[in-house]
Structure 1
Amino acid sequence: MNFEKKLIVNSGNQNLLNELIKSINECERFYFSVAFINYSGLQLLLDALKDAGESSTKGKILTSTYLNFTDAKALRKINEFPEIDLKVFVTDRDIGFHTKAYIFEYIDSYKVIIGSSNITQSALKSNVEWNVEIVAKCDAAFIQDVLREYEDLWEASTVADEVFIQRYEDFLSKLVSINKMQSVIYENSEYIVPNRMQKRAMENLARIRSFGQKKALVVAATGTGKTYMSAFDVKNFKPRKLLFIVHREEILKKAKETFETLIVNQGVTFGLLTGNHKQKDVDYVFATIQTITKCCEEFSPDEFDYLIIDEAHHATSSSYERVLAYFTPEFTLGMTATPERSDQNNVFDLFDNNVALEVRLHEALEDDLVVPFHYFGITDIDGVDLSDVDIDDINEVAKRLKVHERVDYIIEQMNFYGHDGDKRKGLGFCVNISHAQYMATEFTDRGYPSICLTGGDSVDVRATYMKRLEDDQDELQFIFTVDIFNEGVDIPSINTVLMLRPTGSPIVFIQQLGRGLRKHSGKSFLTVLDFIGNHNKTFLIAIALNGSRYYDKESLKVAIATGFANIPGATHIQMDKISQERILAQIDKENFNSLKYLREEYFEFKKMNQGRIPFYLMDYIKYDGAPNPVKFINREKSYLQFVAKTEKSAALKNLLLNDHFVGALEELSSKLPLKRIYDFVIARYLLENDMITLAIANNEILKHVKSVNEDSILHAFECWNQAFYDDAQKSRQLKLFTHQNGELRKTPAFTDVLGNAEQRLYIEDVLSYGIFRYEKEYRDEDYGVPHFKLYEQYQMAEAALLSNYRKSHSSFRGSGLLVNGKEFFIYIDLHKEADIKESINYKDELLNEQYLQWETQNSTSPRTERGKDIVYNHERSVNLHLFVRKYKEIEKNKTEPYIYIGRGDIVEFEGEKPITTKVKLEHPIPAALYTELTVKV
């Protein structure tokens, strides 16, 4: 008999979890048999099990005590579902239990999934797992064998009632105590190795130093191992003397312990220099800023070879500036999670704009630097109506949220989804202080001891309550808070986050989320419950969760429809249907490129900037979730012009009366975001120097990338000389540099612009932003010529720049095929709009992740030289570079960029004028991107 079979693996567009949820929703009955069940995996199935129970779908779940991996808590939770029978196979020394089978009964068939996955978050979502799904008629011999084996195991197992679970739980508790005693072992520093983030940072620091740079900054989320990274780098650098500075003594003590663990047997002495400790005569001094400020002159300026500033966003304050001005170390390293500035000074400038590493939320999840989170977007109760209120009207929003029924609903959902670990340790984020106080009182009255903690509370008070929340024996379960920006709110063992306020900013959302993501031995995941109201900004949640600063309407819709399949690891994002529909409707209605939307985005960011005007592009680097400022540039040709118009600033408008200054800003801004770093590195060098040669440029560019192409440097020189501009471009664009006799120099007009100190700041800002963003997106890799990175976005004309095209670059547009020598650039619209007549008959489509079908222009014949170059490209050494986009236009008057999917070879073709080809891609399209390009919402 024929079976329907398929392999289920965890990848970007599929995983076992999705298959189980779909099958539970569709089946008549289900039967599971798995070696173990963790709460981390069960939580992801709770809604499906609940829906099954409400539709009277019955199930049996069989698990085991094998290796004591099953959570007693998970067993107890399953027993809350009356439609599910639960049994446990009790193993012993001789008999193990390894089954991983999921059986679904339908009216006339069965679906059986057998493979490697137990019910854990990793097995269901992110581990390398193989599970085979077989669908067959009820009377198939295979199905009967499976059912018979299942029934035999079921009969041999024990009913998991409360008596059994309590006995098992007591046994596990004793086991944990024994294991704790046995696990206290000597930690050998030789076995502690850098993680991926730390290795990248150290490689970049070494490269930065190799070019004589003396300062660098590392930006990485809290809990990702910055202190260990700095210790590894110090271990490699081997400074004679080290000074480590931070503003809080408890951070300092932990840092000293980390260094002592890693740097052993090297004859190095360590000491604290604080209000309580005065250990100055040691090799490696760990000092608070308060103390070192008072006594820095007791040391010579060159006393320390290596200086580390932790929490470096404080380093713009006067006390830090004094210390930094006094000492002259060989190298200074700054480390920060949030590089926002506390005044008009810029932390990036302080470290010479050398960013060794920037790690944001999605990267931290991908590199396993933080715990996964399980996010549940839950529609708020009908009794809370925010549809007619401005969410910036804090007092009115708080008044509407302070409803007893809402508190009951929050607690009901909280208890349904549960949490990791024995004791609930939660943070609840509220609208204002009165809302936080209300929630703390209501939770306490209902038996969930809670307190309200805000920035108004003293450091000691905050520390006391945080310690209580971390204590497993203390009854305190929740801290409700408002001002999340205080560094004091950092509690590693947090296992629950409640989002109780309307999301008005992706930045705030990510910061709230981040408070619970720190790794801790007592948790394997964070539970996030977001109560989504009917206000008009709910779509911002999708922008925050999507994790990309550079989004469009279509990518957001696909992310929502696919449960944010692009998010890495075991993290799970789930929204109920009402919330999904609300958000999708808002996204459809919103125009992300309208002046109205851009202004709202700008003013929301200004609010995050402590109400100060964000004058500089580099301000947008400060926060994960910040807007993409290039959208503002596209609106007004330069960021400063957008700010001047939006703020109605007379001072800025006066500054912009200088035509040469405006021309310079527009010329530089037109190149953002950078696709080749050469041009801006050359320009930045010329801010300080009269001229630059090819040799000097080579050396400067090597500070940022691993290798340099000499012809590309020459091409960059020629580009600055406007050699490839057409006449119209030359008449519009200010010329900044001239190229003559192998040298590039500033024009008199640009020299005049730079002579004004205020104008120069804005010019430097555009260059710094371009270089920083390039390094973030492209890192230091050499992409060759043409200079394309897989899966990045490109406009047609950029192929001319990146392939060193020596004719007018404006000619690279308007056609599906562009050519530079043996480099052919093919541009494909995957989904055609019906009103584009010449596109109606095209047959361009992705056949699967490895192959696409492409139809040439109507005039192309396989008998011409051009046609032969295409259909026999491999034999004729022609490189076919493929660019695709889902739609030409998603929002009105906004042409979408293409995505580079790499090179391909024609493997089949037929017909002529046009030729229909089948192209094999050199690199299969990643599953998440394939989903985004093919799924229609």
Structure 2
Amino acid sequence: MHTEEKLIINSEKGNLLKELISSIETCERFYISVAFINFSGLQLLLEALQEANRRDIEGRIITSTYLNFTDPKALERINTFPNIQLKVFLTDREIGFHTKAYIFEYKDHYKVIIGSSNITQSALKSNIEWNVEILSKHGSNFSMDVIKEYNDLWKRSSYADDHLIHEYSKMLEQIERTTFSRQFIYEKPEYIVPNSMQNRAIDNLDRLRALGEKKALVIAATGTGKTYMSAFDSKRFNPNKLLFIVHREEILTKAKETYERLNPNTKKTFGLFTGNRKEQHSHYVFATIQTLSRYFNQFEREEFDYIVIDEAHHATANTYQKVLQYFKPKFMLGMTATPERSDNHSIFELFDNNIGLEVRLHEALEDNIVIPFHYFGITDIDKIDLSDVNIDHIHEITKRLKVNERVDFVIEKMNFYGHDGEKRKCIGFCASNEHAQYMAKEFNKRGYKSIHLSGNDSIHSRNNYIMQLEDNDNELEFIFTVDIFNEGVDIPSINTILMLRPTNSPIVFIQQLGRGLRKHIEKDFLTVLDFIGNHNKAYLVAIALNGRRYYDKESLKVAISTGFANIPGATHIQMDKISQERILAQIDLENFASLKYLKDEYLEFKKLLSGRIPSILDYLKYDGAPDPTKFISYANSYLHFVGKVEKDEVTKTLLANTIFEDTIKSLSGMLPLKRVYEFVLLRHLLLHQSITTEMAKDEILKVIEDVDYDSILHAMENLNQDYFDSGQKKRNPLLVHFDGNQLTRSETFEHLLQQSEYRNHIKEVLDYGIFRYERDFKDTYYGIPHLKLYEQYKMAEIALLSNYRKTHSSFRGSGLLRNGNEYFLFIDLHKDKDIKESINYNDMFLSPSYFQWETPNGTSQATPSGQAIIYNKQKNVTLHLFIRKYKQIEKNKAEPYIYIGKGNTLEYEGNKPITVKLQLENTVPAKLYTEFTELV
């Protein structure tokens, strides 16, 4: 065996953690020497170390006290493994300790990984780290040198016995008490700058105000810094007087302190307006809605230039409405984590349908504005059998979960994985109040101080227990509950979450997970233990963890088999093998396009809304909500789907009007939007008789940063049905007339808008299309053709997006379509999803940046098309590549293509067809490349 080397970096392709786990689980002996070991990194290796112990594999670990970064807790945990010897190199001022070496012994060789990574979650998963892996035979000079140096270091180090760890811990406590803590943050107002989310929000709010808008809503996950964002934005706006309204008094003082911190030396005054204090003459007034709703008449209507409404999802309530209708600010900002409707009014309409920003869980993790979480999916004990029970039968589920052996199993796993921080601060989410009471009682019996909370407990009682949980000197460690902490309750120091019930809603799962993600000085990560049973909806966990990406069977299966490689940062998701296999089997059996599946999704979502029939806009308001365009694909419109499921007379009556029915079908068929211009124009026409091309530009600029005149013109021509064939014209009512400069409502549209029911449903579809477009495409201008990298597209949509000025329905049926010098290549990688050997070997990735494509059979090198393809750069021809893994995954449902960008021909051979090798202008991201190429 020759010496082999490879570079290991943390990227979408892989990370050091993956290499270490694989090596520990397969080697015959291991030796590790690292300067620091934090519990955040050790926790990720616990299962691999347990597996090594099960296999009787011995290991040695050396770490150090250098800079006091090693956790005593990590040392104590390593010492629980009988197969591992642990030593500590005690450093002093003269000698530092910087080694980062991982040595794995195999039968005939060593694997040595040396580089920059210590054992911390960031070093193993997300930091910029370089580590070199070297394979070297036994007896080689390199392996002998490495082992000799390790043995010398081992002799110079001290065993990490209880006495050493105790003395080291005492020293760290002394340092914490007498000197600046290593957690001390150097923070002065002039050095506090907006994070990425806050910057994006401020820029978008500036753009909206420049276009004359006076209201906007920012949607961002808990813990992402919405209050700071509003303070930064108001500082830019520079109001003379500002009003900050909150729903709960607990957060009022914190908000005031944030604004004071960011506005030093400004001569602004800051005051509270509450039941006890009425400091209404301050420049910046921080008020509770309860007090303000009684005393708002003490202020002038135009007294405040800038109003902020925190937890804005409450703003549709009557107490808010009379206040908001009274004041006339220059700008009003709403902030919420979950913009659900609290009644029949839309929060979006309250803020003039202007979304300043939307940030959900995956974006928050990617931007590092919440802490990482370590999720462990654990197969429940055999005694818990949920295979034959409906998840909605809470009483039966509760009865089956109340098992003493399960309590012991939960505690065993909880103690195995541990937690970040000195004191465990845990929320356990249960199936019912009865289940929560049982868990609290059983935990208390076993010496773990616990309580249960329900909606019946007073707010005072809840707050009292939350304070006890957060108090490091209080014995309370566990609060068991059902769903009162799903949203709106802030307990920043939570470091552990137990999922003790079957997951039946991705939305609820994400809300519960979010309770522990706020950054806090006492924790670096959140531990999540999910006990996965054999119920028939276990795969919903995978949907929740996979984020809001489009998903189908293939993408979900690849995500599970690769350990959710798409999850950003130091977050770690790990399911045991039984849970993985169980979920993969369920996904194989499920048909995500069937009426049964879609109906279950719809009814579960409806249940979350307390039984109210969801509007299509409701699906935008929850992270993890179903995608209503799947309902549209099944039934031609969301309204048709609701009518099919609900069988209600109101929907039936509405759809009895064939013109309205065809209009709703026509608009719904454009969802999800890939170009927003048409819907912006139609939304304007709900309130106005006509719109000119110049006015159209101003309206579109409220949604995106730029727009070209030709695309505005093309959108108006498209609405005028200039590119419809005869069948399309017959099926789609003409809603507008275009005279070359002005778009005007048609008589058909006028007639529909006179009926409020028709108007409201049309408006909902238009609003949904625009809001979802803003969520998916942000405010970016993509030019012509209007294509976003790695977005999904149908073949016919490309005619629209490239301003094709012929009948659009002709833009289909071939692997190669063109519009002038824009060539569009549509490619299937596999012929049949059920046959793994069905790879199309002529069309394939050669690497993430190199693709081989075979032209249609009739294409000769001598034809104009052939010349354009093989000499595309010289002939100024752009080749756009659209790839899909399979033509179909679900029966009778064609899969969309994914746009991977432009390619340029480097090599070619053959004739009729030509085989072309293309250099991609954009390297395909690792997670997408894996999804294209991995067969599960």
TM beyond 0.5: yes
Report what 2:118 is aligned to.
118
CA contact (8 A) 2:486 2:508 kept: no
Pair 562,287 (structure 1): closer, same or farther in 2 beyond 3 Å: same
Pair 713,295 (structure 1): closer, same or farther in 2 beyond 3 Å: same
**Which residue identity does 1:786 align to in structure 2?**
P
Separation in 1, partners of 2:753, 2:265: 53
Report what 1:794 is aligned to.
793
User: 1:108: Cα distance to partner?
Assistant: 0.5
CA contact (8 A) 1:52 1:58 kept: yes
After superposing the two structures, state which structure 1 stretch, 657-666 or 175-184, moved more: 175-184
User: 1:102: Cα distance to partner?
Assistant: 0.7
**Which residue identity does 1:670 align to in structure 2?**
G
Separation in 2, partners of 1:646, 1:835: 31
| Pairing 1:510–2:501 present | no
SS across alignment from 1:280: coil
**Which residue identity does 2:207 align to in structure 1?**
R
Q: Deviations over 1:666-696 (max 9, x none)?
A: 1111111010111111111111111111111
Report what 1:658 is aligned to.
657
SS across alignment from 1:136: strand
CA contact (8 A) 1:200 1:357 kept: yes
Report what 2:612 is aligned to.
612
Report what 2:85 is aligned to.
85
Report what 2:136 is aligned to.
136
Report what 1:385 is aligned to.
385
User: 1:64: Cα distance to partner?
Assistant: 0.8
Separation in 2, partners of 1:589, 1:935: 20
Q: Deviations over 1:877-899 (max 9, x none)?
A: 10000111111111111111000
Report what 1:602 is aligned to.
602
User: 1:654: Cα distance to partner?
Assistant: 0.7
SS across alignment from 1:244: strand
Pair 186,170 (structure 1): closer, same or farther in 2 beyond 3 Å: closer
Separation in 2, partners of 1:27, 1:546: 32
What does 1:8-19 correspond to in 2, within 5 Å? Answer: 8-19=8-19
CA contact (8 A) 1:660 1:750 kept: no
What does 1:271-670 correspond to in 2, within 5 Å? Answer: 271-484=271-484, 489-614=489-614, 616-670=615-669
Separation in 1, partners of 2:843, 2:487: 53
Structure 2: tracts of 5 or more residues without a match: none
CA contact (8 A) 2:498 2:529 kept: yes
Report what 1:876 is aligned to.
875
**Which residue identity does 2:816 align to in structure 1?**
L
CA contact (8 A) 1:549 1:628 kept: no
Report what 1:65 is aligned to.
65
User: 1:13: Cα distance to partner?
Assistant: 2.3
What does 1:170-249 correspond to in 2, within 5 Å? Answer: 170-180=170-180, 187-249=187-249
Separation in 2, partners of 1:856, 1:406: 60
Q: Deviations over 1:360-408 (max 9, x none)?
A: 0000100111110000000000111111111100011001100000000
Report what 1:851 is aligned to.
850
Report what 2:45 is aligned to.
45
**Which residue identity does 1:476 align to in structure 2?**
L
**Which residue identity does 2:150 align to in structure 1?**
Y
Q: Deviations over 1:21-79 (max 9, x none)?
A: 11111111111111110000000000000011101111111111111111110011011
User: 1:549: Cα distance to partner?
Assistant: 5.0
| Pairing 1:746–2:745 present | yes
CA contact (8 A) 1:795 1:897 kept: yes
SS across alignment from 2:179: helix
After superposing the two structures, state which structure 1 stretch, 370-379 or 720-729, moved more: 720-729
Pair 120,485 (structure 1): closer, same or farther in 2 beyond 3 Å: closer
After superposing the two structures, state which structure 1 stretch, 580-589 or 483-492, moved more: 483-492
CA contact (8 A) 1:680 1:767 kept: yes
**Which residue identity does 1:451 align to in structure 2?**
I
CA contact (8 A) 1:549 1:626 kept: no
Report what 1:780 is aligned to.
779
Separation in 1, partners of 2:287, 2:386: 49
Separation in 2, partners of 1:810, 1:849: 33
Separation in 2, partners of 1:407, 1:486: 23
CA contact (8 A) 1:370 1:518 kept: yes
User: 1:842: Cα distance to partner?
Assistant: 5.1
SS across alignment from 1:6: strand
Pair 834,484 (structure 1): closer, same or farther in 2 beyond 3 Å: closer
Separation in 2, partners of 1:773, 1:184: 41
User: 1:266: Cα distance to partner?
Assistant: 1.7
**Which residue identity does 1:683 align to in structure 2?**
L
CA contact (8 A) 2:40 2:524 kept: yes
Pair 391,835 (structure 1): closer, same or farther in 2 beyond 3 Å: closer
Pair 343,549 (structure 1): closer, same or farther in 2 beyond 3 Å: farther
Q: Deviations over 1:752-790 (max 9, x none)?
A: 111111211111111111111111111111111001000
Separation in 1, partners of 2:882, 2:241: 53
Separation in 1, partners of 2:512, 2:487: 12
Separation in 2, partners of 1:167, 1:115: 30
SS across alignment from 2:830: coil
After superposing the two structures, state which structure 1 stretch, 21-30 or 545-554, moved more: 545-554
SS across alignment from 1:98: coil
Separation in 1, partners of 2:186, 2:58: 51
Q: Deviations over 1:154-175 (max 9, x none)?
A: 1111011111111111111111
SS across alignment from 1:891: coil
- Equivalent residue pairs, number: 934
CA contact (8 A) 1:64 1:90 kept: yes
CA contact (8 A) 2:2 2:137 kept: no
SS across alignment from 1:830: strand
Separation in 2, partners of 1:742, 1:854: 43
User: 1:484: Cα distance to partner?
Assistant: 3.1
Separation in 2, partners of 1:484, 1:807: 56
Separation in 2, partners of 1:7, 1:814: 45
**Which residue identity does 2:148 align to in structure 1?**
R
CA contact (8 A) 2:830 2:839 kept: no
Separation in 2, partners of 1:116, 1:181: 25
Q: TM-score by structure 2 length?
A: 0.98
User: 1:706: Cα distance to partner?
Assistant: 1.2
CA contact (8 A) 1:549 1:627 kept: no
Separation in 1, partners of 2:264, 2:749: 54
**Which residue identity does 2:535 align to in structure 1?**
H
**Which residue identity does 1:304 align to in structure 2?**
F
Separation in 2, partners of 1:694, 1:611: 44
SS across alignment from 1:612: coil
Report what 1:825 is aligned to.
824
Separation in 2, partners of 1:790, 1:181: 45
**Which residue identity does 1:726 align to in structure 2?**
D
User: 1:913: Cα distance to partner?
Assistant: 1.2
Pair 204,598 (structure 1): closer, same or farther in 2 beyond 3 Å: same
Separation in 1, partners of 2:181, 2:631: 59
**Which residue identity does 1:238 align to in structure 2?**
N
What does 1:29-40 correspond to in 2, within 5 Å? Answer: 29-40=29-40
Pair 281,499 (structure 1): closer, same or farther in 2 beyond 3 Å: same
Structure 1: tracts of 5 or more residues without a match: none
User: 1:833: Cα distance to partner?
Assistant: 2.4
Pair 183,534 (structure 1): closer, same or farther in 2 beyond 3 Å: closer
The root-mean-square deviation of aligned C-alpha atoms, in Å, is 1.4
Separation in 2, partners of 1:489, 1:781: 34
Separation in 1, partners of 2:874, 2:431: 65
Pair 834,462 (structure 1): closer, same or farther in 2 beyond 3 Å: closer
Separation in 2, partners of 1:483, 1:99: 47
Report percent identity of matched pairs: 65
Q: Deviations over 1:435-477 (max 9, x none)?
A: 1011001001101100001111101100110000001111111
Separation in 1, partners of 2:187, 2:272: 23
User: 1:483: Cα distance to partner?
Assistant: 2.2
Separation in 2, partners of 1:451, 1:840: 57
